[in-house]
Structure formats: structure tokens, C-alpha cells
């Protein structure tokens, strides 16, 4: 087979896979904490940060202040933060209480009982973050920073700020240097 034709076919297959993934993203609707169903693709922002959280995960609790600080830092730069609570393991009132206790105003908070967004992002851990562009493409996924080494073991000094660095690079129209890291936390149930 001609190399040119082979390249066109391969490019077409890759483009179709990307289109399918974007189409999948555009069909995900979730209920927010006010009971309204919203399309994830309608969330505003040049970039959105989806943070998967659990109301009983100690690291989810520990990272609430960091997330609030990042939200404040990037608010004027068209970056908006949303918290996602996957599955049905925790009842909605417990999740609402968690949000109130930590004064989380991460834009909006959503329930993902059928794991539709969790599956799209391939989220496995709480806390785990995903930076998504306006086309629904994941530009960064993983840990917020390198503070947590394992559950129960943290560094004295944070030396890598993965989420913050990714956002800065994206806002400067650069490719993300570290686009994927391993999130440390509680397994999504």
C-alpha cells in the first residue's frame, strides 16, 4: 500500500477517535448540588479544572485550602474549578455537609452517580484533578502537587506544583511539560 494513503487512513482513524471522545464529553450531564442538571460541556472557562473529591478522604480534606487558593489565583484568567463527587457511596447530604465544612466554592459541585464523567476522565482517585480545554480534551491529569507521597506520608516541603504549573503553561499557550502524574489518595468506589 502507498505510504501516503496509509498515512491518510491512520490520520483519519486518529481524528475519528478524537471526535468520538469529544462527542462523548458533549453528552455528559450531571446534577449540581442545587439539583439542576447541567451539561459538562456547558461549563464556562477557557480551561476548567475538575477535582474529584470524597467527603471521607483525608487528602480530599487536606487539599481544600490549596484548591481554594488556586481558584482565587486563576479566577481572573478564565480558569474555573468544579468539584465532582463520583458514585453513590456517599449520600448527597454528607457531600453538602463536606462542602459547607470546608467552605468550598469551587464554582459548582456535581454528583456523578453513574461515573459518566469519572469514566470519561479515567479518574481513579480522590483527590485527582483534570484540566480540560474548551473542546473537552484533557490537558493535565493527576496530582495537585507532590506533597502526598502515599496515604499517611507527606513531604515537609512541596517541590512540584503540577496543577499550578500546567495552568500557567496553558495560559501562556504552551504545551504542558508534565501532563500526567499519579494522584495519591483514596480509591474511587
The predicted structure's pLDDT at residue 42: 86
Answer whether residue 4 shows pLDDT above 90: no
Q: Which of 122, 109, 103, 115 is nearest to 80 (CA)?
A: 109
Helices (H), 131-178: 162-171
pLDDT digits (tens, 9 = 90+) for 53-76: 999 999 999 999 999 999 999 989
The mean pLDDT of 97-120, rounded to a whole number, is 88
Residue 94's pLDDT band, with cuts at 50, 70 and 90, is very high
Q: Which of 184, 163, 178 is nearest to 50 (CA)?
A: 163
Of 78 and 152, more confident: 78
The mean pLDDT of 146-167, rounded to a whole number, is 92
The predicted structure's pLDDT at residue 79: 95
Q: How far apart are CA 86 and CA 83, in angstroms?
A: 10
Domains of the chain: 3-187 (3.40.30.10)
Answer whether residue 14 shows pLDDT above 70: no
Residue 22's pLDDT band, with cuts at 50, 70 and 90, is low
The predicted structure's pLDDT at residue 153: 86
Helices (H), 55-156: 58-62, 64-74, 92-101, 116-121
Least confident of 24-28, 79-83, 132-136: 24-28
Global pTM reads 0.85
Q: Which of 173, 188, 164 is nearest to 133 (CA)?
A: 173
The mean pLDDT of 113-142, rounded to a whole number, is 95
Spatial contact of 81 and 106, defined as CB atoms under 8 Å apart:
yes
The predicted structure's pLDDT at residue 17: 41
Of 184 and 43, more confident: 184
SS3 178: coil
- CA distances (Å), origin 78, targets 15, 65, 126, 177: 28, 20, 24, 21
Answer whether residue 98 shows pLDDT above 70: yes
The predicted structure's pLDDT at residue 2: 52
The proportion of the chain whose per-residue pLDDT surpasses 70, expressed as a percent, equals 86
Amino acid at each position: 500500500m502507498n505510504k501516503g494513503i496509509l498515512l491518510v487512513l491512520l490520520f483519519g482513524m486518529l481524528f475519528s477517535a478524537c471526535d468520538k471522545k469529544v462527542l462523548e464529553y458533549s453528552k455528559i450531564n450531571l446534577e449540581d448540588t442545587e439539583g439542576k442538571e447541567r451539561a459538562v460541556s456547558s461549563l464556562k472557562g477557557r480551561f476548567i479544572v475538575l477535582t474529584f473529591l470524597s467527603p471521607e478522604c483525608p487528602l480530599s480534606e487536606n487539599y481544600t485550602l490549596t484548591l481554594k487558593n488556586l481558584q482565587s489565583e486563576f479566577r481572573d484568567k478564565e480558569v474555573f474549578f468544579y468539584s465532582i463527587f463520583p458514585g453513590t457511596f456517599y449520600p448527597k447530604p454528607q457531600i453538602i455537609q463536606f462542602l459547607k465544612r470546608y467552605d468550598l466554592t469551587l464554582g459548582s459541585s456535581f454528583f456523578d452517580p453513574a461515573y459518566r464523567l469519572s469514566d470519561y476522565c479515567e479518574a481513579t482517585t480522590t483527590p485527582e484533578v483534570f484540566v480540560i480545554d474548551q473542546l473537552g480534551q484533557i490537558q493535565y491529569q493527576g496530582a495537585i502537587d507532590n506533597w502526598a507521597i502515599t496515604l499517611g506520608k507527606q513531604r515537609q516541603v512541596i517541590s512540584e506544583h503540577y496543577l499550578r504549573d500546567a495552568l500557567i503553561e496553558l495560559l501562556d499557550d504552551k504545551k504542558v511539560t508534565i501532563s500526567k502524574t499519579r494522584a495519591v489518595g483514596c480509591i474511587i468506589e
